[in-house]
Structure 1
Amino acid sequence: MNFSAPDLSQHPPRSVRIRLGGYVILPRMLDKCRAEIKGTQGPYHYACPIDQRFLQFTGVDAEALKAEVSKGLGDGELLAWIQKNGKTPRSDWEIHHWSAHQEATAPGAFESREFVNEQIKSAGLDKRSDLATWFDWLDADDFVSYGGKA
């Protein structure tokens, strides 16, 4: 697999749980951004609502980040850019607690819960009672979308 320019029509992005600089969501978002630039994003969308959580927390503009990603920078270089250019600098403590909160967040609003339930059912995961959080659903959906068994 080419992680510097992933083909997300062939494999999923990194798990939403993988951290970079302590941030969940960020490595997955970078994978989607790189794939979108290359035109190989498959069913994934850069700057989707999950990505927006990171962008809002850090105060990073999605298009400005995409411009940096398009330069071919690595994860560490992009993290340094985010730390320098984010409008909302965060301490290690804040990043840790924000990431832990994101991992534990479940769909709350009726429309969100209904959407996730429909996605779980269409993926054949409706027998799974352990899919409680957004991250649980995303990881399971990535797995079955690329040939894994529910």
Structure 2
Amino acid sequence: MDLTKEFPRSPFDRLGGIDHLKRLIDKARAKNAGTLGEYIYNCPLDAFCLTFLEMDHESFARIVASTHSDDEVLAAVLDKCPNARNPEKVSSFNLSYEALSPDTPEKWQYFIATRDAIDPSRTDIRTWTRLIDLEEKRILTV
């Protein structure tokens, strides 16, 4: 995965029913390959997902380095993380994750400036995950 040339998958692309996991794999693969570009591996959204998975970013990167497919990563995650095997906990995580929004006035200023620089008409976008999809030019419906 070369994130200097392409976007990681959407925060909404699920693996094993878990939001962000595919994106996290893409970012870990790029980190391991030295092709992360401007992306940050272990950003706050990555950390939120990793906390749910009960592992740190270094352990996750090692799992990704030792596997060749999403399914192999998922198998390793399911083996190590009881939360990932619990449908109720996965659903709760997804709801919390998709609702994450700025939590300080300064972050809201940054968020609004970023969103408005891309498309000032999209005042409906109020969460980090939706902002990412807007930034990465994924089709968003109002």
Q: The TM-score by the shorter chain falls in which range? A: 0.7 to 0.9
* Structure 2 CA distance for partners of 1:41 and 1:55, relative to 1, 3 Å: same
Determine the structure 1 residue equivalent to 2:128.
134
TM-score by length of 1: 0.82
Q: For residues 67-95 of structure 1, give each alpha carbon's deviation from its aligned partner in whole angstroms, at most 9, with x where no partner exists.
A: 12112431111111112223756511110
CA distance in 2, matches of 1:68, 1:113: 35
Query: Structure 2 counterpart of 1:44, which letter?
Result: Y
Structure 1: give runs of 5+ residues left out of the alignment: 1-5, 145-150
Match in the other structure for 1:148: none
Distance between the aligned counterparts of 1:141 and 1:42, measured in 2? Answer: 15
Gaps of 5+ in 2: none
Instruction: Map 1:116-131; keep pairs closer than 5 Å.
Output: 116-121=111-116, 123-131=117-125
What TM-score, normalized by structure 2, do the two folds share? 0.86
| Match in the other structure for 2:63 | 68
AA aligned opposite 1:27: K
Percent sequence identity over aligned pairs: 31
Does residue 32 of structure 1 match 2:39?
Answer: no
Question: Aligned-residue CA RMSD in angstroms?
Answer: 1.9
Count of matched residue pairs: 138
Query: Which aligned runs of 4 or more in structure 1 are off by greater than 3 angstroms?
Result: 87-90
- SS of 1:143's equivalent in the other structure is coil
